Chain A
């Protein structure tokens, strides 16, 4: 595998691929953070992304997670094209503002100088705007499909990406610090819970049953991540290693197909690193998850990865099995360094 393979994905695409990234480029002003990245993650694989600092690994993660839109290129998740640069975006604000402005105009024409009538029509226009704008911003499914029928495309937002089955952790831990471990996981289950605010206010049996069941399930995720008995502990009071585990538990709670782990063993001692590595292995065997991993610890990467992709200065310089990567001269030069033997 050499750098010339950039144009075509190294692993052939199959319909069962969880993620297909097509020539993703991301520019921050003059800086090219990612250049024409081709990337495929087969189902139930553990794929690692390695490279020196500033290679663009986390940027790539953020693009997949819907946090930053790519400059060009697109990403398909489970066969759905969710991430790509916006198309005909200028059309959308017209849709929002045309109806209220029309109402206002009609009002002014109809009321013939009667200020109180104009005010009434103005209020009506305002009401219309109040209904349209928040709906458009909240982007419910029917609105999305309506927009797409008009040929408008907008990249999915983080919460849409979660809905389509991607969970993630962060390089620098981002927990809800003043909430308990259990509540952190419950927030992760947000999209899996169905009860509405009205259910909650009326405290319907459905709501109570769901809440109770959610707590049991959340406790199970905590246990899976090795945080048994830590339910009521505030996230901020957990030791560092447990905070990393809690982030994984929270990401698991959205029942992802693809789990993005950004340096899950950073700052951990060898024993903890071993435990996390074992956990990641179990996630695949027990939950059938696909994992994309950013990691600097080569023992972890070489130990559990099916395939490894190496980034350097925003470009993919190598792709292959751990054995191939270990022997790749470009990777050795850019990142691994000469083996100690």
Chain B
């Protein structure tokens, strides 16, 4: 409605130049999936070009940057999935890395020479996601009656159990050594490799676009509203007819699905899976990304995860390299990479004190012209005008 009013004023004052951008906004408002695709395409093309310019070009080569972006993409996927569980449904999950591990191990076991099974990458994306979803439900089921702190503790336990199981079942998973020689994805004519990160990059962009569209659609559906209702007041949600059990299980399942996708991708990118990749710090990092980005806001969480990952894996290292030759007492001797979790902690504390809603809080969505027929009743002339 706010924008509509703006349009009315604009047309009254004769500012026709704004009309076309407004029409563009209106188009994207109505076709959000197209907007997401366009935005992702733009970002996907812009990122590798930006890193060619200084100062970014001084940090890494373009290839290394793209590889970093792939790593960031994995965390963006993870954060988006956790956002469904924590941000939308309000279920605090501290063991989210478990599903990441399950996705990665599903691919690692079924696409390596460890068992001699070599299922191709593409169907495994779906299989890994489904297996993770099943475990999401398996974890969700016993925790349904728990809330808040208690839920967090149980999920924390689950997050610890999964890597320990992978570590200790030597015969099945090769224990601490993990599984090496995991298959890379393959497509005719395209080589996925450490030296050629572009195919991975394209795959990740496509996956993220699909997941984003899917999440936005779900968020605005009956299920998304039910998730939010449970987050706001579980009892009132149940008394409005929401089956809280199914709804919570679906949140766990969907969060795990995204995580499973990320796991399969990560395993094929590193060609290696081991239990120590999925410790508590991973769960914690993803949660911190969600909180920093702004719980419940899909774009915010995605940007938050991206920024945090890049800071973690590029900026801190560069900062150390930059400060060392300057010979400033104390500062030059700090290896910032070693203090990343300290910095993380400080950032989180500062965040909670200064901006508890996150960097990009979920602004309440304004309804677009064509769906706001309830508004039409109250202001028929106002909303009729900007359409013409």
Contacts and interface: CB of A to CB of B under 8 A. Distances in A.
Interface of A: 65, 67, 115-116, 119, 126-127, 129-130, 133-134, 137-139, 157-159, 162-163, 168, 170, 174-180, 182-183, 186-188, 190-191, 193, 195, 197, 199-201, 203, 207, 211-212, 215-216, 218-220, 222-223, 228-229, 231-232, 234, 250-251, 253-254
Given A201-B218, A232-B364, A183 B225 contact: yes
A55 B374 CA distance: 42
Contacts of A201: 214, 217-218
A311 B14 CA distance: 68
Nearest to A223: B377
Interface of B: 1, 33, 134-135, 137-138, 140-141, 144, 169, 171-172, 214, 217-218, 220-226, 228-229, 232-233, 235-246, 249-250, 364, 366-367, 370-375, 377-379
Given A115-B171, A174-B235, A176-B233, A190 B246 contact: no
A201 to B, nearest CB: 5
Contacts of B141: 130, 133-134, 137
B281 to A, nearest CB: 27
Contacts of A211: 220-221, 371
B372 A215 contact: yes
A197 B250 contact: yes
A75 to B, nearest CB: 16
Contact of B377 (A158, A197, A228): A228
A232 B366 contact: yes
Given A134-B249, A162-B241, A187 B371 contact: no
Contacts of B241: 159, 162-163, 188, 190-191, 254
Contacts of A126: 138
B374 A222 contact: yes
Contacts, number: 157
A250 B374 contact: no
Contacts of B214: 201
A162 B240 contact: yes
Nearest to A247: B236
A113 B228 CA distance: 49
Contacts of A215: 367, 371-374
A67 B235 contact: yes
Given A138-B243, A232-B1, A232-B364, A187 B229 contact: yes
Contact of A229 (B172, B240, B378): B378
A216 B245 contact: no
A182 B169 CA distance: 52
Nearest to A120: B172
B225 A179 contact: yes
Given A126-B138, A138-B245, 19 more contacts: A65-B239, A115-B172, A137-B141, A138-B243, A159-B241, A162-B239, A163-B241, A168-B239, A177-B232, A183-B228, A197-B218, A200-B222, A201-B217, A211-B221, A218-B374, A219-B373, A219-B377, A229-B379, A231-B367
Contacts of A193: 222
8 contacts: A116-B171, A134-B141, A134-B249, A137-B245, A176-B228, A190-B242, A212-B373, A215-B367
A197 B240 contact: no
A229 B375 CA distance: 6
Nearest to B215: A201
A170 B246 CA distance: 24
A15 B71 CA distance: 66
B222 A130 contact: no
B221 A207 contact: yes
A190 B238 CA distance: 10
Contacts of B224: 200
A131 to B, nearest CB: 9
Given A193-B222, A195-B221, A216-B374, A116 B240 contact: no
A197 B373 contact: no
B101 to A, nearest CB: 16
A159 B373 contact: no
B138 A197 contact: no
B372 A231 contact: yes
Nearest to B214: A201
- Of the candidates B218, B239, B378, the one having the most CB atoms from chain A within 10 angstroms of its own CB is B239
The 4 closest A-B pairs by CB, nearest first: A219-B374, A200-B221, A162-B241, A176-B232
Nearest to B252: A134
A159 B377 CA distance: 32
Q: Which of A193, A199, A207, A219 has the most CB of B within 10 A?
A: A219
A176 B225 CA distance: 10
A159 B243 contact: yes
Contacts of B217: 200-201, 203
B254 to A, nearest CB: 8
Nearest to B296: A178
A261 to B, nearest CB: 13
Given A134-B140, A215-B371, A187 B221 contact: no
Contacts of A223: 377
B236 A190 contact: no
Contacts of B239: 65, 67, 158-159, 162, 168, 170, 174
A127 B134 contact: yes
A179 B374 CA distance: 16
Contacts of A175: 232-233, 236
A170 B236 contact: yes
A202 B85 CA distance: 21
Most interface-central of B33, B226, B371 (chain A CB within 10 A): B371
Nearest to B145: A137
Contacts of A119: 169, 172
A231 B375 contact: yes
A253 B236 CA distance: 14
Contact of A232 (B171, B243, B367): B367
Contacts of B134: 127, 130
